[in-house]
């Protein structure tokens, strides 16, 4: 029973970190209604950024947050202006393939600069675990969990209780009406895209002590992120957290009791089942095209 | 709803289009461009070209055929799939397992692979019957991952990560040829058949049904079209033809492993070739493969050694540019650039 509890709680923690990584994707979808197929590559370059700050400046990866997050927000602005904004009024296929092209571009630029080698940062807390009751937790996981929960709460607060949040909600509900009411919709899109990228930057700093980085690392994580956001309801922030927790638990329990390789199989099957029976996701609204942040 | 109605790249109405004389098929005949491409391809098969070039020709024709097959679902029916590598892999593995373990000729095995893949494609279309836009795309991606992980772990059947080898005992019955030209001719035949099937769909009533479902599913079903049969049919046919391409791939390279044959990257490749060439036309994916594949091989051989990854970075950048500024792909760009002066009143 202790083993099972341990697996569930560890899965929960790692799931929250996955959720943090997916939150940018769901935010961007919720506001701009596009799936960013380069999301994994955003994570990859942010992880390289966190690694570079740690390796060259000798800083802690958690301190790297102050450098990586603004840098990723800026990167998000640039990508939005160059790639997303020209395509946002066109058929959605255009941006599907354009972001796909962007992901190929970023992957291979990373390959040119960093080669295919794996980079990682030295362990943070001398591999120490935090002991709560009968359970042991890696300190990095616990810290990541806290950051993820904090992020969800502050994102929710921003959307519910600030003027910017109100403008975002208006844009999600009806971008034309919002524009008529004086909401600068293109700027809201840019802010949403930049915030999504900044969230990826934050996730990368949290993940760097746990995972190695290499040019194609994004693909593994983006598939998990897709599963999480669809499971939770594409566009829903709490949904992403819930979806992340489910995936984390499924992965950790099935890896232990069956085989690590099947852990992945299970969550893709779970994903397909959700698609068949509840395509709007756990917390999404009915009718896929109306899914948004609410 | 808004997702679907925006979901297609604007394609010209087929029959009434004021096409260019050299691209425009006459009444049920082939256009000059198609004829020229065909002659060029046959010349390349017959001509004594060095082996390394034959590899390029072969992969160009094969990928062209698969991109055309992808286009039947993605371009005609609007079912954008990022999981076609699963069909490709099912075809490749079925014929190879039958040949290696049971001595069944690939000439028979490829049909069986096609049928399995078609069944899987139809299942996928049924699973995704309610899904639109990005949701459908993501479900195909997930389904292909299920197949890949399955193939990777079902070691007794597929050889797992170590892959499967076809030991080359040369005989026509085993589809293992002594000369590469024979393979190239075979793959050319495949590409031509898929092209003709695409053209036939384009001109048929069924094609119109697919376009209607793609452009506005609700309007189509209000007009008495059953979107489900249209979607399942297109996906099944597309999967069938893709799987045959997979069998031919296995016979040519004589080695298979799930990490390549069923990878998401391969699925993206098929979709991207079609999108770069021009979705929803037969000439588009064919042009996409003919232009992109030799170019990328050329770039790789010049740049690959010095700058690892540069040729693919260029490819990615090119893709972003084409999608944003020429969403109709190479085919529409060709039509536009030369069309103006030659337009007949």
Q: Which of B6, B152, B272 sits opposite A91 (nearest CB)?
A: B6
The arithmetic mean of pLDDT across residues B120-139, rounded, is: 87
Angle between helices B51-71 and B264-277 (to 10 degrees): 80
Q: Is A122 exposed, middle or buried (0-12, 13-18, 19+ CB in 10 A)?
A: exposed
| pLDDT greater than 50 at residue B6 | no
Contact A103 B316 (CB under 8 A): yes
* Domain ranges across chain B: 2-342
pLDDT at position A121, please? 82
Q: What is the pLDDT of residue A293?
A: 38
- For chain A, residues with pLDDT lower than 70 are 126-127, 284-294
- Please tell me the predicted confidence (pLDDT) of residue A291: 38
Return the axis-axis angle of helices B84-102 and B106-127, rounded to nearest 10°: 150
Q: A96 at the B interface (CB within 8 A)?
A: yes
Q: Nearest CA of chain B to the CA of A34: how many Å?
A: 8
A 101-120 → B contacts, CB under 8 A? 101-112, 115-116
Alpha carbons within 13 angstroms on the beta-carbon side of residue A204 total 38
Report chain A residues whose CB lies below 8 A from the CB of B280.
none
pLDDT at A109: 92
Domains in chain A, please, with CATH? 2-290 (1.10.3470)
DSSP B75: I
pLDDT score of B339? 55
The crossing angle, in degrees rounded to 10, of helices B283-303 and B51-71 is: 140
CA distances from B160 to B5, B91, B154 (A): 42, 16, 6
pLDDT at A103: 94
Complex ipTM value = 0.86
CA-based nearest distance A116→chain B, Å: 9
Contact A141, A10 (CB under 8 A): yes
**pLDDT tens string B290-340:** 988 888 888 888 876 777 788 888 889 999 998 888 888 888 888 777 654
For residue B319, give the chain A residue with the closest CA. A101
pLDDT tens-digit map of B56-90: 889 999 999 999 999 999 989 989 999 999 999 99
Cross-chain residue pair B271–A97, CB shorter than 8 Å:
yes
E strand segments, B117-276: 164-165, 255-256
pLDDT of residue A126: 66
Task: Residue B4: list chain A partners with CB under 8 A.
Answer: 289
Comparing alpha-carbon positions, the chain A residue that sits nearest to B329 is A94
Q: What is the pLDDT of residues B140-176, one digit of tens each?
A: 999 999 999 889 888 888 887 788 887 767 777 777 7
Sorted by sequence, the CB contacts under 8 Å of residue B108 that are 6+ apart come out as: B98
pLDDT at B203 over 50: yes
- Strand B255-256 with A135-138, pairing: unpaired
Contacts of A268 (CB under 8 A, 6+ apart): A223, A227, B142, B143, B145, B146, B149
State the pLDDT at residue B340: 45
Mean pLDDT calculated for residue range B182-204: 91
- Please give the DSSP secondary-structure letter assigned to residue A123: P
Is residue B10's pLDDT more than 70?
Answer: no
Smallest CA–CA distance, residue B3 to chain A, in Å, is 6
pLDDT score at B244: 95
- Cα dist. A67→A53, A143, A193, B344 in Å? 8, 19, 18, 60
CA distances from A186 to A155, A161, A232 (A): 20, 21, 27
What was the pLDDT predicted at B338? 63
Q: How much is the pTM?
A: 0.87
In chain B, % of residues over pLDDT 90: 30
Query: Is the model's pLDDT at B2 over the cut of 70?
Result: no
pLDDT digits (tens, 9 = 90+) for B103-120: 888 889 899 999 999 999
State how far the alpha carbon of B148 is from the alpha carbons of A46, B23, B272, in Å. Answer: 28, 40, 20
> Do B324 and A98 count as a contact with CB atoms less than 8 A apart?
yes
Hey, which residues 248-267 in chain A have their CB within 8 Å of chain B? Answer: 259, 261-262, 264-265
Q: Does B8 contact A219 at a Cβ distance shorter than 8 Å?
A: no
Query: Do B319 and A101 lie within an 8 Å CB cutoff?
Result: yes
How close is the nearest chain A Cα to the Cα of B101, in Å?
26
């Amino acid at each position: 029973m202790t083993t099972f509890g341990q697996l569930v709680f560890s899965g929960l923690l790692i799931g929250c970190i996955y959720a943090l990584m997916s939150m940018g994707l769901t935010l961007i979808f919720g506001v701009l209604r596009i799936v960013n197929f380069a999301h994994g590559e955003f994570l990859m370059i942010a992880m390289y950024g966190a690694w570079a700050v740690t390796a060259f400046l000798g800083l802690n990866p958690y301190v790297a947050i102050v450098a990586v997050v603004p840098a990723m927000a800026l990167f998000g602005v640039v990508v939005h202006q160059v790639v997303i904004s020209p395509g946002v009024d066109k058929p959605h296929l255009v941006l599907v393939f354009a972001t796909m092209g962007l992901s190929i571009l970023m992957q291979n630029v990373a390959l040119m600069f960093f080669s295919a080698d794996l980079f990682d940062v030295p362990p943070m807390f001398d591999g120490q675990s935090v002991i709560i009751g009968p359970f042991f937790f890696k300190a990095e996981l616990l810290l990541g969990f806290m950051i993820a929960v904090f992020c969800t709460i502050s994102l929710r607060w921003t959307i519910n209780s600030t003027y910017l949040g109100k403008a975002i909600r208006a844009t999600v509900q009806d971008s034309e009406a919002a524009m008529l009411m004086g909401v600068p919709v293109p700027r809201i899109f840019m802010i949403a895209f930049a915030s999504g990228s900044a969230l990826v930057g934050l996730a990368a700093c949290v993940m760097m002590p746990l995972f190695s980085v290499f040019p194609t690392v994004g693909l593994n994580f983006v598939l998990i992120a897709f599963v999480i956001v669809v499971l939770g309801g594409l566009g829903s922030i709490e949904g992403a957290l819930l979806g992340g927790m489910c995936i984390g638990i499924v992965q950790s329990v099935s890896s232990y009791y069956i085989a690590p390789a099947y852990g992945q199989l299970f969550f893709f099957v779970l994903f397909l089942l959700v698609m068949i029976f509840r395509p709007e996701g756990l917390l999404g609204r009915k009718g896929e095209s109306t899914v948004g942040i609410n | 709803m808004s997702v679907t109605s925006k979901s297609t790249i604007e394609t010209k109405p087929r029959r009434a289009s004021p096409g260019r004389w050299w691209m425009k098929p006459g009444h049920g005949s082939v256009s000059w461009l198609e004829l020229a491409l065909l002659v060029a391809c046959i010349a390349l098969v017959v001509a004594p070209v060095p082996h390394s070039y034959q590899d390029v020709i072969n992969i160009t024709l094969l990928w062209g055929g698969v991109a055309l097959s992808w286009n039947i679902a993605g371009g005609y029916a609007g079912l954008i799939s990022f999981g076609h590598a699963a069909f490709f892999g099912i075809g490749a593995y079925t014929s190879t397992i039958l040949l290696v373990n049971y001595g069944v000729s690939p000439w028979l095995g490829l049909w069986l692979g096609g049928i399995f893949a078609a069944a899987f494609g139809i299942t996928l279309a049924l699973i995704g019957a309610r899904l639109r836009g990005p949701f459908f795309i993501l479900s195909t991606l997930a389904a292909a991952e299920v197949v890949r992980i399955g193939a990777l772990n079902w070691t007794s059947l597929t050889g797992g990560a170590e892959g499967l080898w076809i030991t080359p005992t040369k005989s026509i019955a085993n589809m293992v040829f002594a000369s590469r030209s024979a393979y190239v001719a075979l793959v050319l035949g495949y590409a031509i058949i898929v092209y003709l099937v695409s053209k036939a769909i384009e001109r048929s009533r069924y094609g119109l049904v697919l376009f209607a479902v793609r452009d506005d599913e609700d309007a189509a079903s209000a007009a008495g079209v059953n979107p489900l049969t249209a979607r399942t049919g297109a996906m099944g046919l597309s999967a069938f033809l893709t799987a045959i391409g997979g069998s031919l791939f296995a016979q040519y390279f004589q080695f298979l492993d799930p990490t390549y044959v069923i990878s998401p990257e391969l699925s993206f490749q098929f979709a991207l070739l079609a999108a770069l060439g021009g979705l929803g036309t037969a000439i588009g994916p064919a042009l996409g493969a003919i232009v992109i594949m030799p170019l990328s091989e050329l770039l790789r051989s010049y740049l690959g050694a010095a700058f690892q990854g540069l040729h693919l970075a260029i490819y990615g950048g090119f893709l972003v540019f084409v999608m944003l500024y020429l969403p109709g792909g190479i085919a529409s760009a060709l039509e536009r650039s030369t069309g103006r002066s030659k337009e007949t009143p």
